[in-house]
Structure 1
Amino acid sequence: MVKKQLIMESALELFAKQGFEATSVQQITDKCGISKGAFYLSFKSKDELIIALVDQFMEQIFADIDHLVRNKKDSATLLFDYYYVSFQSFKQHTEFANILMKEYTQSLNEKLIHKIHYYDKLVNTTILTMIDRIYGESIKQTRYDLLYCIKGFMRMYSELFLFQVVPLEMDELCQSLVEKTDLLAKGMTIPFLKKEHIDIPVYQSESSVPNDQLISLIEEKVKEMDDSIEKESLQLLLTQIDNQTYSPAIIKGLIENIRSQPDCKWIAYLLNRHF
């Protein structure tokens, strides 16, 4: 296992038991069986490690829902699939989602708060794209209110996966939320929220990264990967960042190849934005 990933996995176990603040770098290195010097070669501080864990968690969830919203052909089932994919992600990452929800409400860590706000802005944009695809002009005046209703459903019902020990029927839950969302979309007549109330990226570039950063990110990921179709696809995409010579269809196919790797989903999202 790559040392950086070992540190992250060991830290996650300790954070789950003790919380962010109560866990020291010494405890993390003891669990990993490494020196503090080896820790600081991977992360400059515990805060940087925490942000890396937040990125890993949020990037995978957001990349999945963004890919769904932008690529699903059938708008009739899009809302169900959105809820399903979102809750499935929470279910798969229950441990860290639980830590994050608890720590975020109590944290004075400005970097953590800023990072969560960054992903929240991206989620706002994706949900609004979904709302426009499903409901169109019929809810033009209330689309921002519906955005907050959908996010409210997600936050409240996510607690079932974090704290409920009774098995949940995912299909039934998602169908129930689709019904509720449709009723709100069709029944709301008095808008309250306006565009200026919603925290969304002003420019698409806010959800992108400069070319040099994207290249560096890909090069680092390539070094970590074993030889595979995914690694080869990533290397080919790397050659296209500054000078695209492949057709859009080939680029799309290569990006789909790397999406099969869970830890490459965010890179796939950034490459989709780039191309």
Structure 2
Amino acid sequence: MTKKQLIMEKALELFAKQGFEATSVQQITDHCGISKGAFYLSFKSKDELIVALIDHFMRQFNADIDFVVSEGKKEDLLYNFYYTTFHSFSKHSDFAKLLMKEPTQSFNEELFSKLHNYNKSLENVILSMIERLYGEQSKDLKYDLSYCIKGFMSTYSELFLVYKLPIDLDLLVRSLVEKTNLLAKNMTISFIPDELIQMLDQPLNKEPSLEQIIETVSKNIEDMEDSIEKESLMLLKQELLEPALHPAIIKGLLANIQHHPHCKWPAYLLRKHFGK
């Protein structure tokens, strides 16, 4: 075992007991039996160590899930997806428990962004699985179903990670396969539209550029039929290019497009840009 691996292994033991915030570098080095100097030869800071742990766990987890979804047979796909998920949670239970109980307020921007990116990667794998399993049937409900699947993953893992109950993994997985199939075949009401997903996909703490807003607005204008909403969007685009309108007029134009089903995302971007 290398010095870096030793630090990661021993630090995880402390993090699992105390949390990220309450664990100091001094405690980690004492637990490893090394000097602070040796620690800083491997990691520049505690945050860098936490990032390394997150990378190690999430890369393995996402890679395992992605392989099952992309390479597995369709008839066993959902079973193998859930089985791989919970088997991985169990195998890395200390770190899985830590991520579940650690408040996000204790993460700095880099750590929070890292988890966000891994979460988006997992969501994309789940969506790919849904489309492969249910095809056209899932077109309007795939985002709702993906959130249900993620909810199953999180909630049922608490049974053995938090409450430490003995689990029949095969029974758990078969029950979730049944539940997921029932939802996929019987859901009729969509709550999560494409526009909401676009909002969620906005990079954390990063404002879209003016060019990106103009591009989004232009695309929506091209896709819309002639209407008061389209005219309002065209005027707002012109305001982006050559500001001239009174704030009250801008507010009125934004109100015109607010409830149009194809304008929710550009309305969101424009409100943020104009500060409305």
TM normalised by structure 1 equals 0.70
Identity %: 63
Contact 1:10 1:32 in 2 (8 A): yes
Looking at structure 2, the residues matched to 34 and 20 of structure 1 have their Cα atoms a distance apart, in angstroms, of 20
Residue identity matched to 1:87: F
2:140 is paired with a residue of what secondary structure?
A: coil
2:142 partner amino acid: R
CA contact (8 A) 1:90 1:161 kept: no
Supply the distance in 2 between the matched residues of 1:183 and 1:93 (Cα, whole angstroms). 30
Is residue 68 from structure 1 mapped to residue 68 from structure 2 by the alignment?
Answer: yes
Q: Is the 8 A contact 1:80 1:175 kept in 2?
A: yes
Alpha-carbon separation, structure 2, partners of 1:66 and 1:108: 26
Residue equivalent to 1:51: 51
Shift of 1:166: 2.9
RMSD: 1.6
Q: Distance in 1 between matches of 2:120 and 2:202?
A: 6
Q: Counterparts of 1:1-275 in structure 2 under 5 Å?
A: 1-72=1-72, 74-198=73-197, 199=200
Q: Cα offset for 1:189?
A: 1.0
AA in 2 matched with 1:50: I
* In 2, Cα distance between equivalents of 1:63 and 1:141: 27
Aligned length: 201
In structure 2, the gaps of 5 or more residues are 204-276
Q: Which runs of 4+ in 1 moved over 3 A?
A: 199-202
Structure 1 unaligned residues grouped into runs of 5+: 203-275
**Residues 128 and 143, structure 1, Cα contact 8 Å, conserved in 2:** yes
1:244 is matched with which residue?
A: none
Code of the residue aligned with 2:112 in structure 1: it is: I
Q: Which residue of 2 aligns with 1:211?
A: none
> How far is 1:108 from its partner?
4.4
Measured in 2, the distance between the counterparts of 1:32 and 1:166 equals: 31
Give the Cα–Cα distance (whole angstroms) in 2 for the partners of residues 123 and 2 of structure 1. 30
- Inter-CA distance 151–158: structure 2 relative to 1 (3 Å threshold): same
Give yes or no for contact 1:26–1:36 (8 Å, CA) kept in 2. yes
Kindly indicate whether the alpha-carbon contact (under 8 Å) linking 2:144 and 2:191 is maintained by their aligned counterparts in 1.
yes
**Taking structure 2 as the reference length, what is the TM-score of the superposition?**
0.70
